[in-house]
Structure 1
C-alpha cells in the first residue's frame, strides 16, 4: 500500500537521502528508567542524563534518544524525549529501529565467520566469485571490500537509483541487482590504494557470501549471527514496514514540527549495506561479540579484522579519532579505545561500540538523521555526548 499523496509529496520534499545512510511538536521532557538486565542496575550519572536532556531540546535535534551501557552483567539505560511524538511514549531497549550502516558490521560478521570456516578467503576476488560483475572490478578482493579500499563507486549516489527513490521512496528493488546501477563505471582508484567509504562494498560482500555457500544472505545472517548471539528481534526486511513496537524516525526541520519518516523508505534499496532492523538490546549484544571477537571469530581472523587504516572514519564519524579495519572501526577517545560501527539513515543515527574484551558495550541511538552533510553541527554535539558516554563505559 502506498502512502497518501500529500504525505509522500511532503516527505519527498524534505527527505534527505544521504550517501552513507542509503547504504537515506514533541514532548521533550526527560524520561529515565533502568533497562531490564541481569544483575543489579547501577545508579545513573546525572551529568550524562542532563546531556541527553539537552540533546533533545536542541533546535533540529532528535525527538528522542536512548543509550545502553553494558558493563559485565549490569546494564544501564539512559533515555530522554520520545520514541513517538504522537503518543509521548519514551524509547525502550526493546524498540525496533533501523540500524543504518551498522548493518555493514553484520555483513562483515557473515564474511569473517565464513573465512573461519574456510568457505571464503580474504584474498578472494570479485572476478573469482562474481565473474558476471564488470571485468574492471575483477581484481577487487574481499579484504578491500571490507576495508572500503576497493574503489567501487557508490551505487546509492547513482542518478538512476536516486531518480527511482524520488519517484517512489518505497520502491521494491531487487537487492541483488543494486550494483547494476554502477555497472558501466570504472573503479574510482586502484584497489587498495586509498580509503573511500562506499555502500557498494557490502553489497558485493553479501553476494560473495551467497556465491560460496549457495544460501541467501538472509539465511546466512540467521545461521552465523542471529542464532549464535540469540538476537531474537533482529531482521533484514525487504519492505518499508517496521516491526512493532518501534522507535519512530523523524525529519526535524524547524520551525515545522518533526515529521515521522520511519516507513517512508523501504530496506531493499540498502540491503546488506544498511537494511537491518534491530533493537538497542540486540544491537548491544551483537557489538559485544563483534568488538570482543573471542569465541565469535578465530584469533587469526580477528587479527586481520583489526589491521586499521589511520584516519579512516565511519559514516558518520564516531567519537574521538577514527581508524578503519575490516567492517569495524576503532574509536580512540580521551578515556580509551572502543571498537564498532556507526550509521545514519533518514530518521536515525546510530553508534554501537564495545571493548576489546567484549565485556563492555555502548549503543547510542537517536531518532533523526545527522552526518557530515546532514546537520553537521548536530553531529558534532552528538559525537561529544557519545565520547562522554564512552568515558562512563570505560570507568572501572
Structure 2
C-alpha cells in the first residue's frame, strides 16, 4: 500500500535523473555461451535475475516469431502474492515512450506538417534563443545539446519534496530555460529527456492538437493498442505489475504509484502492457507507420546508446536504436524508471520481436553489475529470436 503522503529515499529520486544522463556509447556485454533456442536455459536466466542481489521481484519476456508467441515469466507481479506477471498487466514503459514520440513526429514529417530540418526557433520561438538552431532531427537522435530538465536541481528538489507533485508537462523545459546548450547542435551524442519534450511540443504546435490525442490517432489506433495511455497522475490502472525499489538489505519497497507521470510526460510517462508494447515495436521497428523515404532518414545511425544500454553494440537513429548482437541486428528502445526497466526490439521487417520487462530500475548508475547481467540475458533472447526455425 502506498502512503497518502509518500516519502522517497533521496537516492531513489536522484536515479530518476541518472537514468537519463548516463548516455553509454558502444556498450557491450559478454553473452553466455548457451544455445539461444534453449527455452529452459532462457527461463532459468530470467529466474536468476529475480533472485540476484537487487533483482526485480518479477520479470517477463515475450518472444514472437510471426504469429507464434512464447512467454517467459519469473517471480511475481506483486510481492506477498503468488500472482504471476501477465502480458496484459500494465506497467510504466519508461523511456521506450520516446519511440512513441518518434512515431508521432515522423508521421507528421510524412504528412508535410514537419520537416527534419525544422528548427526550435521556427516552431517553438518562445524557447530560449540559444536553442533556436536545434533541429527536429537532432532532437530525435539526441545530438541537440539541450540541457536535461530532469537533472535540474530545482526539479529534483520539487520531486523530492512531493513525488506526486503535478507538473505542467508543457512547461518542463522552463527548468533549464536559463541554461545554454551543452554542446554545439549535431557535434556529439548525449541522451536527454528534454529532447522528446521539445518533439512533443513541436507536434502540438504544427497540428493544433494535444500530444495525447496525436498518440491516439497516429499510434494507438493504427496498431490496435487498447491498453496504452499517457496519464498525468500517479495512479496505475488494474491489473498492473507492481514496481519496486530493491535496495538490499531492505525489503522491496512498492513504488508503483509514488511518482506523478506529469514530470516526465513525452519522455517517459506512457503506461502500457507487454502485449501492447509487442504490437508497437513490431509496427514501429518494421516501418509500418512511416514512408520508405522517412524511414531511410530514421535509420541513419550515429554513435550512441539507449539508456540503459541495450544488448550488443548500440547506435542511435531517429527515436530508435540499432542493437548489433553476436547473432544479428534488431531495432528498438530501452527505458528505466523508478520501479521498472524495459526493452522492446524487433527485426527490421517487424516479423520477429522481443519485449523484456522488469519490476525494478536497473541502470549503469544504480546497479551496474545487474545491468551487465541483464544485457547478457537480453542478447541470448535476441539470439533465440533470430535463430532459424
Q: TM-score range by the shorter chain?
A: over 0.9
Counterpart residue number, 2:217: 223
**Structure having greater relative contact order (Cα 8 Å, sep ≥ 6):** 2
Residue 371 of structure 2 corresponds to residue 379 of structure 1: yes
Residue 10 of structure 2 corresponds to residue 18 of structure 1: no
Counterpart residue number, 2:352: 360
Runs of 4+ with >6 A deviation = none
1:94-105 equivalence runs, <5 A? 94-105=88-99
Deviation at 1:90, TM superposition (A): 0.8
Counterpart residue number, 1:316: 308
Deviation at 1:372, TM superposition (A): 1.1
Counterpart residue number, 1:237: 231
Aligned 8 A contact 2:13 2:160 in 1: no
Deviation at 1:3, TM superposition (A): 3.2
The CA distance in 2 between the partners of 1:368 and 1:254, in whole Å, is 13
The CA distance in 1 between the partners of 2:334 and 2:144, in whole Å, is 20
Instruction: Describe the SS at the equivalent of 2:209.
Output: coil
Counterpart residue number, 2:33: none
Residue 187 of structure 2 corresponds to residue 214 of structure 1: no
Aligned 8 A contact 1:70 1:362 in 2: yes
Counterpart residue number, 2:26: none
C-alpha offsets along residues 166-217 of structure 1, whole Å, 9 cap, x if unaligned?
Answer: 0000000000000000000000111001000000000000000000000000
Deviation at 1:44, TM superposition (A): 7.4
Residue 198 of structure 2 corresponds to residue 204 of structure 1: yes
1:1-396 equivalence runs, <5 A? 3-5=3-5, 8-9=6-7, 11-12=9-10, 14-19=12-17, 21=19, 45-293=39-287, 295-310=288-303, 312-396=304-388
The CA distance in 1 between the partners of 2:61 and 2:12, in whole Å, is 27
Structure 1 residues without counterparts, runs of 5 or longer: 24-42
Deviation at 1:11, TM superposition (A): 4.6
Q: CA RMSD in A?
A: 1.4
Q: 1:297 to 1:13 in 2, by over 3 A?
A: closer
C-alpha offsets along residues 138-160 of structure 1, whole Å, 9 cap, x if unaligned?
Answer: 01000000010000000000011
Please say which of residues 216-225 and 45-54 is displaced more in the overlay. Answer: 45-54
Deviation at 1:86, TM superposition (A): 2.7
The CA distance in 2 between the partners of 1:394 and 1:372, in whole Å, is 27
Structure 2 residues without counterparts, runs of 5 or longer: 22-36
Aligned 8 A contact 2:114 2:206 in 1: yes
Deviation at 1:17, TM superposition (A): 2.8
How many residues were matched structurally? 372
Instruction: Describe the SS at the equivalent of 2:384.
Output: helix
Counterpart residue number, 1:39: none
C-alpha offsets along residues 338-358 of structure 1, whole Å, 9 cap, x if unaligned?
Answer: 000000000000000000011
Counterpart residue number, 1:31: none
TM-score, with length taken from structure 2: 0.93
Q: 1:113 to 1:160 in 2, by over 3 A?
A: same
The CA distance in 1 between the partners of 2:14 and 2:93, in whole Å, is 17
Aligned 8 A contact 1:20 1:344 in 2: no
Deviation at 1:256, TM superposition (A): 1.3
The CA distance in 2 between the partners of 1:262 and 1:214, in whole Å, is 33
